[in-house]
Chain A
Amino acid sequence: MTLYLFLFIISFKKYLLIFIILLSQTLILKVPMIAFDVFSEHVTTNNGSNVESIFQSTDGILLPNSSPNAERFVSGLQEYILKHGNNSVEECTSCFPVNRDNRKGTGHNVEVAIALVDVAHSPGNPCSWTCSAKPEVLYFEDFSLCTDLHSIDGILKSIDWKNYGLSLKTGLAEQGRLHDLEWAQKAPVDIKLIRKAIKLAFDDMKSKYDGIFMNYHTSKVQVYAPDLSRAIAGLILSSKDVEFQAQCASLLGLQRDDINMDGRVESCIKEKIIATIELNSGKTKGGKKVNSCLFECEKIHEEDCCYQNDERRDNHSIDDEM
Chain B
Amino acid sequence: METTELPKSILFFSDQQLCYAESLPPSQVKARIEIALLNFLNCLCSPSPAITDLPLVNKRNENCKFRKGLMSDVSSIFLSHSFCTRSLSKNKDVKSFIRVWKVMELCFQIVSQEKLVTQRELFYKLICDSPDYFTSQIQVNRTVQDVVSLLRCSRYSLGIMASTRGTIIGRILLKIQGQETIDCSSLGPAGYPITGDFGILDSMRFDSDARYILVVEKDAVFQRLAEDCIFNQIPCILITAKGYPDLATRFLLHRLSQNFPELSILALVDWNPAGLAILCTYKFGSMSMGLEAYKYACNVKWLGLHEHDLEKIPPESFIQLKPHDLQTAKSLMSSEMLPEMYRKELALMVGKGMRVDIEALYFYGFDFLGKYISSKIVQSDYM
Which chain A residues lie closer than 8 Å to B284 at the CB level?
307
Q: How far is the CA of A276 from the CA of B274 in the complex (A)?
A: 48
B55 touches A292 (CB 8 A): yes
B50 touches A308 (CB 8 A): no
Smallest Cβ-Cβ distance to B32: which chain A residue: A295
A305 touches B89 (CB 8 A): no
Q: Tell me, yes or no, whether A269 is within 8 Å of chain B by CB.
A: yes
Q: How far is the CA of A272 from the CA of B49 in the complex (A)?
A: 9
Fill in one digit per residue for A15-59: 1 if any B CB lies within 8 Å of its CB, else 0. 000000000000000000000000000000000000000000000
B132 touches A239 (CB 8 A): no
Min CB gap A15→B, angstroms: 34
Picked from B39, B141, B327, the residue with its CB within 8 Å of the CB of A311 is B327
Which chain B residues lie closer than 8 Å to A224 at the CB level?
88, 94-95, 98
Picked from B19, B98, B327, the residue with its CB within 8 Å of the CB of A312 is B327
Q: Tell me, yes or no, whether B157 is within 8 Å of chain A by CB.
A: no
Q: Tell me, yes or no, whether B288 is within 8 Å of chain A by CB.
A: yes
B144 touches A321 (CB 8 A): yes
Picked from B81, B109, B120, B332, the residue with its CB within 8 Å of the CB of A292 is B81
Picked from B60, B83, B286, the residue with its CB within 8 Å of the CB of A300 is B83
Q: Tell me, yes or no, whether A64 is within 8 Å of chain B by CB.
A: no
Which chain A residues lie closer than 8 Å to B67 at the CB level?
306
Q: Tell me, yes or no, whether A251 is within 8 Å of chain B by CB.
A: yes
B152 touches A296 (CB 8 A): yes
5 contacts between A and B (CB under 8 A): A232-B40, A239-B108, A291-B55, A319-B246, A321-B288
- With A228-B98, A298-B81: A308-B334 Cβ-Cβ less than 8 Å: yes
B49 touches A276 (CB 8 A): yes
Fill in one digit per residue for A210-240: 1 if any B CB lies within 8 Å of its CB, else 0. 0000000100110010011001101110111
B277 touches A286 (CB 8 A): no
In the complex, which residues 242-271 of chain A have their Cβ closer than 8 Å to any Cβ of chain B? 244, 247-248, 251-253, 269
7 closest Cβ contacts across the A-B interface?
A310-B331, A317-B288, A319-B244, A307-B66, A312-B328, A288-B50, A321-B141
Fill in one digit per residue for A141-167: 1 if any B CB lies within 8 Å of its CB, else 0. 000000000000000000000000000
Picked from A276, A277, A288, the residue with its CB within 8 Å of the CB of B53 is A288
A320 touches B108 (CB 8 A): no
Picked from A220, A287, A293, the residue with its CB within 8 Å of the CB of B83 is A293
Fill in one digit per residue for B285-308: 1 if any A CB lies within 8 Å of its CB, else 0. 011110000000000000000000
Which chain B residues lie closer than 8 Å to A313 at the CB level?
244, 277, 280-281, 286-288, 328, 331
Q: Tell me, yes or no, whether A303 is within 8 Å of chain B by CB.
A: yes
Range, interface on chain B: 35 or more
Picked from A231, A294, A296, the residue with its CB within 8 Å of the CB of B98 is A231
- With A276-B51, A293-B83, A307-B65: A321-B289 Cβ-Cβ less than 8 Å: yes
Q: How far is the CA of A86 from the CA of B95 in the complex (A)?
A: 44
Which chain B residues lie closer than 8 Å to A321 at the CB level?
119, 141, 144-145, 246-247, 288-289
A310 touches B332 (CB 8 A): yes
Which chain A residues lie closer than 8 Å to B331 at the CB level?
308-313
Min CB gap B135→A, angstroms: 15
Min CB gap A245→B, angstroms: 10
B289 touches A287 (CB 8 A): no
Which chain B residues lie closer than 8 Å to A234 at the CB level?
105
Min CB gap A78→B, angstroms: 32
Q: Tell me, yes or no, whether A275 is within 8 Å of chain B by CB.
A: yes
Picked from A217, A220, A280, A314, the residue with its CB within 8 Å of the CB of B287 is A314
Q: Tell me, yes or no, whether B34 is within 8 Å of chain A by CB.
A: yes
Min CB gap A229→B, angstroms: 10
Smallest Cβ-Cβ distance to B334: which chain A residue: A308
Picked from B83, B165, B241, B280, the residue with its CB within 8 Å of the CB of A291 is B83
- With A248-B38, A306-B66: A290-B52 Cβ-Cβ less than 8 Å: yes
- With A238-B109, A310-B328, A313-B281: A299-B37 Cβ-Cβ less than 8 Å: no
Q: Tell me, yes or no, whether B158 is within 8 Å of chain A by CB.
A: no
- With A306-B336, A321-B145: A285-B90 Cβ-Cβ less than 8 Å: yes
- With A313-B286, A320-B288: A227-B45 Cβ-Cβ less than 8 Å: no
In the complex, which residues 349-378 of chain B have their Cβ closer than 8 Å to any Cβ of chain A? none
Q: Tell me, yes or no, whether A14 is within 8 Å of chain B by CB.
A: no
Q: Tell me, yes or no, whether A3 is within 8 Å of chain B by CB.
A: no
Which chain A residues lie closer than 8 Å to B91 at the CB level?
217, 220
Picked from B49, B53, B104, B241, the residue with its CB within 8 Å of the CB of A235 is B104
In the complex, which residues 22-52 of chain B have their Cβ closer than 8 Å to any Cβ of chain A? 30, 32-45, 49-52
Smallest Cβ-Cβ distance to A308: which chain B residue: B334
Fill in one digit per residue for B119-160: 1 if any A CB lies within 8 Å of its CB, else 0. 110000000001011000110010011000011100000000
A320 touches B335 (CB 8 A): no
Q: How far is the CA of A34 from the CA of B17 in the complex (A)?
A: 71
Q: Tell me, yes or no, whether A201 is within 8 Å of chain B by CB.
A: no
Q: Tell me, yes or no, whether A1 is within 8 Å of chain B by CB.
A: no
- With A310-B328, A312-B328, A322-B119: A290-B287 Cβ-Cβ less than 8 Å: no
Which chain A residues lie closer than 8 Å to B98 at the CB level?
224, 227-228, 231
B243 touches A319 (CB 8 A): yes
Q: Tell me, yes or no, whether B168 is within 8 Å of chain A by CB.
A: no
Which chain B residues lie closer than 8 Å to A291 at the CB level?
55, 83
Q: Tell me, yes or no, whether A316 is within 8 Å of chain B by CB.
A: yes
Q: How far is the CA of A316 from the CA of B325 in the complex (A)?
A: 13
Picked from B64, B87, B288, the residue with its CB within 8 Å of the CB of A307 is B64
Q: Tell me, yes or no, whether B63 is within 8 Å of chain A by CB.
A: yes
B61 touches A309 (CB 8 A): yes
Smallest Cβ-Cβ distance to A298: which chain B residue: B81
